[in-house]
Every structure is written in structure tokens, then in C-alpha cells.
Structure 1
Amino acid sequence: MYRFLLTPRWWGINLFIVLAIPFCIFMGSWQLGRFEDRVETHRSAEKQSEQASREKARPLADLLPVDKETSGRRTEVTGRWDKQLLVPDRDLDGKRGFYALGLLKTDEGKVLPVVRGWLPGDADRSKVPAAAEGEVTVTGALQASESAGSDGVNSAGGLPEGQLGMISAASLVNLVPYDVYPAWVTVDKAESGLKAVPPSAPQGSGLDLKAFQNLGYTGEWFIFAGFVVFMWFRLFRREVEFSKDAALGLAEIEASASASS
């Protein structure tokens, strides 16, 4: 009855099953491992953020270039305010508003973008307190330059003069006649009238959409493995039924032949 398993067609089916099931299990386990890595990275980033908030501020030069280890670390920078800009469409505590962004010119002749604080509503320069004159010292969390598409950031092309879509050296290069640090700072304590912006987690270190996509892919691969097994048993049962029907038909033919003789 099971001789069909030795046919070339079923050899091919069985070979596919033998290869497909381990492959699906391997891919599902790999995606699960990616999700677990992201969870661990997220926990490490939270722990690092807590430690950074208690650390003594360090010189900017010691923390550059910004990476996952130095992002969120506290730094202290001295300079003079140069240009003041607005960064619209920024959310804080579930509300839409804008950043007050100041460019701090240091003794090295470079400018450092500094988020002085956040205000609710549409970007409006008249709402922003005037920046202090003379030399100032800024203390805050160091952040990597933003890029389009990261954490909901977009280039926001066509903005009015004095507004900026992304906080990055690339977006500032044509606005100031100085070199721009490839990083920015969000102050620990905002000036009166402004609300301090908490530092964001480094890219790839949070439980974002990509992390849960990995978890979804894990389930899909294990479902594929189960579907392959289900289809094999379905084909097998159908083949057995065909074999039984064929054997029954052959027996009826033989019985008819015997009766007629």
C-alpha cells in the first residue's frame, strides 16, 4: 500500500520536507535570537542612560565620535551663542511642539547644535526666550547627528528661514560659515519658559518596530514549518486513499472476471 513512497515523485517530496523543516526552524530561531539581542541592547541602553545621568560631565572631545557607548553621556561645553534656529514638529509627552536650537560657537571655531528646550504648538520665534550674551557653559546629554527616517525624523524640505528639519552637520553646513560638530547636545536644565528635552536612545538600541518585526518573523517561520508538515500528511493520506481505491477497483474487476468464467 505504501509502495508509492518509493516513486521518484515522493522521493522529491520527502527530500523537500527533510530540507524545508530544518530551514524554517533555523530561520525562526535566528529571528528570535535577533529579537532577544534587541531586548538585551534595550536594557543595556536604559542602564547606561541611568548611569550617564549620575556621571560627572566630561569634555566634548573625550566623547567624540558619538557611538552607542557615548550617546547620552553628559558633556560640558563653553562658548558663545551664535545663530538661533527652530526645529518644528517635535513631540514631547504626547504633545506636538518645536525645539529651540542654539548654535554654540566654541574656542575651536566650531559650532555645536544645542537644544535649549521645547515649546508646544507651531514653531514661533517670538515664544523663545532670548539667548544669553557673552560666554556661557552648557551641560547636557550628547546625541548623534540625526538622519532622515530615524525615530520619525524627516528632512522637512521647504521650511521657512530660520527653521531646520534635522539636527545634523549636513543640514547646517550651508547655514553657518563654521565647521559643525557631528553631534548635538540637549541641556539638562532648560531656561525659564522652555522644557528640557530628554536624550533619546541610540539608533538600534530600542524596542522599535524592527524589533517586533523580528518577533513576527519568528512566528511566521515556525508556522511555515508546521504548514509543511501538514501538507505532507495531507498528500500522504490522499495517496493512501488513491491506493486503497485502486486496490478495491482491481479486486472488483478480478471478482467479476472469476464470476463470468
Structure 2
Amino acid sequence: MYRFLLTPRWWGINVLALLAVPFCVFMGSWQLSRFEARVQEHRTATVQAASNRTGAARPLDRLLPVDQRTSGKRATATGRYDRQLLVPDRELDGRRGFYVLTLLRTGSGKALPVVRGWLPGTADPAKAPAPPRGEVTVTGALQASETPGDNGVGGQGGLPAGQTGAISAASLVNLVPYGVYDAWITLDRGDSGMRAVPATAPDNSGLDLKAFQNLGYTGEWFVFAGFVVFMWFRLVRREAEYLRDAELGLVPDAGRAEEATAEAGTPTGV
């Protein structure tokens, strides 16, 4: 009854099923491993964030370039404040406001963007306290340059003079005649009565939408594997029932019955 499985047509179906099932299982396992890796990264980032808040501050140059290992660590730098900019449309505790960003000219000849604090309301230069004069030493959490679209960073353009949409060396270097570090810090304590801006976790270190997409893809691939097996058994059953009916003369199309039984290698007697 099942000799039809050895026909050329069924050889193709069988090989396709044998290849599809392991492939789906492999892809599902890979997506699951990506989700587990993100869970582990989230745990590591949580532990690191707690450690960073109490860890001793280190000189800025020892923590560069910023990566997942150094992001959030307390850094210190010495210099003189220079140009001040506002970063509009930033939320803190559910309230909309703006960051006060001041460039710190260091002894290296480059400037370090320093977020001195957050203020509520619409970005207004008159609300932003002037930076301290003279040489200062700042201490805060080290952060990587922002990318529009990440961590709530807007990608708006056409901002008024004295504002920037993202704290990014690529954009800030066009506003000043000197180099800018590809990093920034947010002060441990807000300056001049402003609220301190908490450090954000580095990219791809939390249980974000991408992580749960990996988990969803895991389920999809395993469902695909089960669907392939289900369809294979269903096709086999339908073929076997058709050939059995053909042998019993229950198939109205005699020509098709004879062709199907001949293909399966069984006699056509009724």
C-alpha cells in the first residue's frame, strides 16, 4: 500500500520534508539562543549598572572608546566650559523638558559634551543656568553618542540655533571649531539646581522589543516544523486512501485510478 513512497514524485516530497524539518528546528533553536543571550545581557547590564553607581570614578581617557563594558561607568574630566546647547523634547519621570548640554574643553584640545541637568518645559536659553567659570572637574556616567531613533532620541531637524536633537559627536563637531569626543557624560548631581539625568543602558543590553521578537520567531519556526510533519502525514494518508479506493473500484475516474496504482507499483485489478 505504501510502495508509492518510493516513486520519483514522492522521493521529492520526502527529501523536501527531511530537509525542511531540521532547518526549522535549527532556526528555532538559534532564535531561542538569541533570546537567552539577550536575557543574560540584561542581567549583566543590571548588575553592572548597580556597580557603576557606587564604583570609583576613573579618568575619561581610560574608559574610551565607549562600549557595553564601559558604558555607564563613572568618569571624570577636567577643563573649562565653552559653548552651551539645549536638547529639546526629553522626558524625565513622565514629564517633558530639555537637557542642558555644555561642551567641556579639556587639555587634549577636544571637548567633552556634559549634560549638566534637565529642566521641565519648552527649551529656552533663558531658563538654562550659565555654566561655572574657570577650570572645573566634572564627574558623571559615561555614555555613547546617541543615534536618532534609539532610547527615545528624536530625529527632528530644523531646530533653532543653540539646540541639537541628539548628543552625537557627528553632529556637534559641525557646530564648534574643535574636535569633540565620541562620548558624553551626565553629571552625578544636577548643576545649578537642575535635575540630574540618569544614565541609560547600552544598546542591545535589555529585554526590548527585539528580544521578544526573537522569542516569537522561536515559536514560529517550531510551528513550521510541526506543520511540515503534519502535512507530510496528511499527504501520505490521502494518497494511501486514494489508492485503496482505486483498488476497490470506488474512484469514478478509472483512468486516473489506473495511473495512480500503476505509479505506486500495485496491480489494477478491481
| The two structures share one fold, judged by TM-score above 0.5 | yes
Do the aligned partners of 1:142 and 1:186 also contact (CA within 8 Å) in 2? Answer: yes
Do the aligned partners of 1:24 and 1:222 also contact (CA within 8 Å) in 2? Answer: yes
Q: Which segments of 5 or more consecutive residues in structure 1 lack a partner in the other structure?
A: 254-261
**1:214 alignment partner in structure 2:** 214
Does residue 25 of structure 1 match 2:25?
yes
**1:120 alignment partner in structure 2:** 120
Kindly provide the amino acid, as one letter, of the partner of residue 62 in structure 1.
Answer: R
Q: TM-score, normalised by structure 2?
A: 0.89
CA distance in 2 between counterparts of 1:151 and 1:179 reads 25
Deviation of 1:192 (Å): 4.0
Kindly provide the amino acid, as one letter, of the partner of residue 241 in structure 1.
Answer: E
Do the aligned partners of 2:90 and 2:96 also contact (CA within 8 Å) in 1? Answer: yes
**1:87 alignment partner in structure 2:** 87
Deviation of 1:191 (Å): 2.3
Do the aligned partners of 2:245 and 2:251 also contact (CA within 8 Å) in 1? Answer: no
Do the aligned partners of 1:156 and 1:164 also contact (CA within 8 Å) in 2? Answer: no
Do the aligned partners of 2:39 and 2:206 also contact (CA within 8 Å) in 1? Answer: yes
Do the aligned partners of 1:42 and 1:207 also contact (CA within 8 Å) in 2? Answer: yes
Report the 3-state secondary structure (helix = DSSP H, G, I; strand = E; otherwise coil) of the residue aligned with 2:211. helix
Post-superposition Cα deviations, 1:28-55, rounded to whole Å, max 9, x if no partner, equal: 0000001101111111111111111111
Post-superposition Cα deviations, 1:132-158, rounded to whole Å, max 9, x if no partner, equal: 122222110011111233223243211
Post-superposition Cα deviations, 1:55-88, rounded to whole Å, max 9, x if no partner, equal: 1111111111111111111011111111111111
Do the aligned partners of 2:116 and 2:187 also contact (CA within 8 Å) in 1? Answer: yes
Does residue 183 of structure 1 match 2:183?
yes
Does residue 55 of structure 1 match 2:52?
no
Deviation of 1:9 (Å): 1.2
Deviation of 1:251 (Å): 11
Kindly provide the amino acid, as one letter, of the partner of residue 55 in structure 1.
Answer: G
CA distance in 1 between counterparts of 2:192 and 2:159 reads 27
Q: TM-score, normalised by structure 1?
A: 0.92
- Distance change in 2, residues 1:194/1:4 (3 Å): same
**2:76 alignment partner in structure 1:** 76
Kindly provide the amino acid, as one letter, of the partner of residue 66 in structure 2.
Answer: V
**1:164 alignment partner in structure 2:** 164
Report the 3-state secondary structure (helix = DSSP H, G, I; strand = E; otherwise coil) of the residue aligned with 2:13. helix
CA distance in 2 between counterparts of 1:219 and 1:18 reads 20
CA distance in 1 between counterparts of 2:97 and 2:23 reads 48
Report the 3-state secondary structure (helix = DSSP H, G, I; strand = E; otherwise coil) of the residue aligned with 2:72. coil
C-alpha RMSD of the superposition: 1.8
Report the 3-state secondary structure (helix = DSSP H, G, I; strand = E; otherwise coil) of the residue aligned with 1:82. strand
User: Which segments of structure 1 move beyond 3 Å, counting only runs of 4 or more?
Assistant: 250-253
The range that moved more, 88-97 or 53-62, is 88-97
The range that moved more, 137-146 or 2-11, is 2-11
CA distance in 1 between counterparts of 2:46 and 2:75 reads 18
CA distance in 1 between counterparts of 2:43 and 2:206 reads 8
Do the aligned partners of 1:104 and 1:112 also contact (CA within 8 Å) in 2? Answer: yes
CA distance in 1 between counterparts of 2:217 and 2:38 reads 14
Deviation of 1:96 (Å): 2.3
**1:40 alignment partner in structure 2:** 40
CA distance in 2 between counterparts of 1:215 and 1:209 reads 10
Percent sequence identity is 69
CA distance in 2 between counterparts of 1:23 and 1:165 reads 44
Deviation of 1:231 (Å): 0.9
Q: Which segments of 5 or more consecutive residues in structure 2 lack a partner in the other structure?
A: 255-270
Deviation of 1:250 (Å): 7.1
Question: How many equivalent pairs are there?
Answer: 253
CA distance in 1 between counterparts of 2:19 and 2:241 reads 26
CA distance in 2 between counterparts of 1:163 and 1:59 reads 28
**1:249 alignment partner in structure 2:** 249
**1:143 alignment partner in structure 2:** 143
**1:105 alignment partner in structure 2:** 105
Do the aligned partners of 2:144 and 2:184 also contact (CA within 8 Å) in 1? Answer: yes
